[in-house]
Structure 1
Amino acid sequence: MKQDRKTSSLEQEIEANLKRVYDDVAKQEVPDRFTQLLNQLRESDKSTTGEAND
């Protein structure tokens, strides 16, 4: 029974740490280069989709 509490406590600590790290990363801004690449992909997708419908 004591082992279950340790595991549970350890799992809770890991979960809290992972959530903290995830929240920190989620708050970071997307680098300009990534935004530019995403825009290029969107434009490329629009072009490809437009050509397929013609």
Structure 2
Amino acid sequence: MIYTRPRAMIDGSAPDGHGSQGIAVRQMATERMRDVKKKNEETASPRKQGRRPEWASGLRQLYDSVVEEPLPDSFADLISKLDKPD
């Protein structure tokens, strides 16, 4: 047995014959989904929108400057001592 929806439901009308109510409900749902999507876009994090927050470039510069600093001699000596076999 194959289930088929009644014709009244396919064209957007309600099964009780109130066609305009079915269409009105669909329009309200569509408008609500559009509003929710717009709100989500407005409140989405900058990362999700493809933008970086204002402080990100300063943080990146600080990180890069720390990474580029030379290794202190005391650390280099410690590493060499740890690398030596006992």
Scaled by the length of structure 1, the TM-score of the pair is 0.56
Equivalents in 1 of 2:59, 2:43: separation in Å? 22
Q: Name structure 1 gaps, 5 residues minimum.
A: 48-54
Identity %: 21
The number of aligned residues is 42
| RMSD of Structure 2 on Structure 1 (CA) | 2.2
Q: Name structure 2 gaps, 5 residues minimum.
A: 1-40
Flag the structure with higher helix content: 1
Scaled by the length of structure 2, the TM-score of the pair is 0.39
Q: Could you say which residue in structure 1 is the equivalent of 2:43?
A: 3
Q: Which has the higher contact order (CA 8 A, sep 6+)?
A: 2
Q: Which has the larger radius of gyration?
A: 2
Equivalents in 2 of 1:12, 1:37: separation in Å? 39
Q: Which has the larger displacement, 14-23 or 24-33?
A: 14-23
Q: Could you say which residue in structure 2 is the equivalent of 1:51?
A: none
